[in-house]
Structure 1
Amino acid sequence: MNKTRLGRYALLAVGLVFVATEPVLAQSVNADLIYELNAKLLYVAIPITLLVQVILVYTVWRFRNNDDPQPTRENRRLEITWTLATAIILLFVGIASYTVLGNPAIALTPDAGPSAEPQAQQGIQPAVTHPNRSGATAPETQKAIQIEIDAYQWGWEFIYPKAGVNSSSELVIPANKPVYLHITSRDVIHAVHVPTLGLKQDAIPGQYNTIKTNATKPGSYQLYCAEFCGSGHSKMLANMTVMPQGEYQSWLDEQKSGGSNSSASGSANSSAIAPVAANPA
């Protein structure tokens, strides 16, 4: 009877653990890939952890009164079994991780170097403001949205070159559409991080790093710098807003109608950071 109850409690505990580790609903393809990988690894790690804990507790209880412990005997079958099991688990972890890390939404390969194809160069040049900097990745489709993120101490400039729009406080992208974010820095190393959408990439002076994403749920998400960059690091905050396509186009049109203000704001930002760049804190 006690064993039956113990088994029920164990099954209940396992069920609660699996429910607690169920991944949350992802808001982008990037987050979906990361959550799915985490779930796969947890589904492998949790049974192993529980098995080890059960064996440990059983051993402590079973031999608690043994005052004359004897060395364990060699058991080749057991050794071969756990060696093969470990190899299979590591192989599964390696394949699952490689599948995610090799996905373009997680790791995008730069193609804007000297050896890049002319078509790739032409696809990038209209979407960046520093054509001499390498590292940007051209989109696979002309329907993709390209946005430049220019980081500086201690703020952001979000540039839509094709639309002629600049923003310093809000990064707006359309939902359910491929978006390429070309990230660079004016002074020191920064890092763009939007945890909820699974986005993180360094902003390095003199080069571009590109993130590919596709946000699936409209909303406002926190964007901040994840690389310590000086005394104003904690102030590098912005909103990343995902809008339906119609609202996104309306936002662009609204920004264009106030284009003179956007340009003035961009100029003000540039002039404001000039002394900082010359003498970084």
Structure 2
Amino acid sequence: MGSRRTTVTLLVSALSSLLASTGTVVAQSTNRELIDGLEYQLLYVALPLTLFVLLILVYAAVKFHDNDDPQPTTEDPALEITWTAATAIILLFVGLSGYSVLVSPYVSPSQALEGGDNRSQGEFESFDDLPETDDEEIYVTGYQWEWQATYAGANVTTEDAIVIPADENVTIWLTSDDVIHSLFVPDLGVKQDAFPGRYTRARTVAYEPGRYDAVCAEFCGAGHSRMDAEVVVVESETYDRWLQENEGNVTTAPNPG
């Protein structure tokens, strides 16, 4: 009996520690904030339910482990209605929480297009077909096995580095020169596929200047594992000055300092 109590105590302590630790890492972008917020909401519901089910399982295992004459559970309409209603409420909560994030213009960027242009991702077939936005726009091309970024209006190009200003709406238009790639920036919560001959949109607002790892998340050939890059977030003044100083050049990313 002592070992069972110890197991239950350890389980409760572990779940409590996990609950207390959630939310301690500050989100680095609007995207990451939305995704983390949804994750925490679901955790706060899922963990108590998990603990409740496990405690009932332990209770049943201890109480009935030596029962030589088990009997079926008696009918209890009130209990059945209660757990059915509780399940429906939980599923409704999960659905509404997920929907509120999925309709965000940072998670579903087509929601933010001007003029009611709600075409699905990947339906922009040429550079001239891209809709106008009020964001800072960057054009990123994936190819085996690198990323190339071009900055609108400045004719500046970087290789395996994407420079964006902090605290500004940024649109990244993605395309591919060969096969399907996928730009994934875990710390910023950005993930979008790049298709040959089409343009897709990723949108974000990054909060903190710094360097963030970016990788290709779609298997694209023998060099897939080394197709990585950096997203360099800098202050707006630094970004504007860097564009002016390097106009017309292939250059390196500035120091986020």
Range into which the TM-score falls when normalised by the shorter chain? 0.7 to 0.9
Answer yes or no: is the 8 Å Cα contact 2:105–2:112 preserved in 1: no
Give the stretch that moved more between structures: 79-88 or 246-255: 246-255
The answer to whether 1:131 aligns with 2:135 is no
The one-letter code sitting in structure 2 at the alignment partner of 1:237 is D
1:11 positional shift: 6.3
1:173 positional shift: 0.4
Which residue in the other structure is 2:165 paired with?
174
SS at match of 1:180: strand
SS at match of 1:43: helix
Aligned in 2, Cα 1:236/1:9: closer, same or farther, shift over 3 Å?
Answer: closer
1:241 positional shift: 0.4
Which residue in the other structure is 1:100 paired with?
101
1:159 to 143, 150, 162: 150
The answer to whether 1:262 aligns with 2:256 is no
Identical positions, percent: 44
The one-letter code sitting in structure 1 at the alignment partner of 2:246 is Q
1:152 positional shift: 0.9
Which residue in the other structure is 1:67 paired with?
68
Distance across 1 between alignment mates of 2:232 and 2:155: 19
Answer yes or no: is the 8 Å Cα contact 1:23–1:39 preserved in 2: no
What 5-or-longer segments of structure 1 have no aligned partner?
121-127, 266-281
Distance across 2 between alignment mates of 1:95 and 1:213: 22
TM-score relative to the length of structure 1: 0.78
1:129 positional shift: 11
The answer to whether 1:85 aligns with 2:107 is no
Aligned in 2, Cα 1:172/1:91: closer, same or farther, shift over 3 Å?
Answer: same
1:240 to 231, 238, 246: 231
Which residue in the other structure is 2:42 paired with?
41
Distance across 2 between alignment mates of 1:138 and 1:44: 41
Distance across 2 between alignment mates of 1:9 and 1:106: 38
Answer yes or no: is the 8 Å Cα contact 1:137–1:210 preserved in 2: no
The answer to whether 1:149 aligns with 2:120 is no
Which residue in the other structure is 2:200 paired with?
209
RMSD over aligned Cα, in angstroms?
2.8
TM-score relative to the length of structure 2: 0.85
Answer yes or no: is the 8 Å Cα contact 2:170–2:204 preserved in 1: yes
The answer to whether 1:224 aligns with 2:215 is yes
Distance across 2 between alignment mates of 1:129 and 1:247: 33
Which residue in the other structure is 1:52 paired with?
53
Which residue in the other structure is 1:20 paired with?
21
1:137 positional shift: 4.8
The one-letter code sitting in structure 2 at the alignment partner of 1:182 is W
Distance across 1 between alignment mates of 2:53 and 2:13: 18
SS at match of 1:79: helix
SS at match of 1:52: helix
1:136-187 alpha-carbon deviations (Å, 9 max, x no partner)? 4532x3xx20000111111111011311111113111000000000011111
Aligned in 2, Cα 1:13/1:202: closer, same or farther, shift over 3 Å?
Answer: closer
1:244-267 alpha-carbon deviations (Å, 9 max, x no partner)? 1111122212322xx3x529x9xx
The answer to whether 1:188 aligns with 2:179 is yes
Distance across 2 between alignment mates of 1:176 and 1:216: 5
SS at match of 2:75: coil
Distance across 1 between alignment mates of 2:18 and 2:131: 41
Aligned in 2, Cα 1:191/1:216: closer, same or farther, shift over 3 Å?
Answer: same
Give the stretch that moved more between structures: 94-103 or 64-73: 64-73
Answer yes or no: is the 8 Å Cα contact 1:149–1:158 preserved in 2: yes
The one-letter code sitting in structure 2 at the alignment partner of 1:87 is A
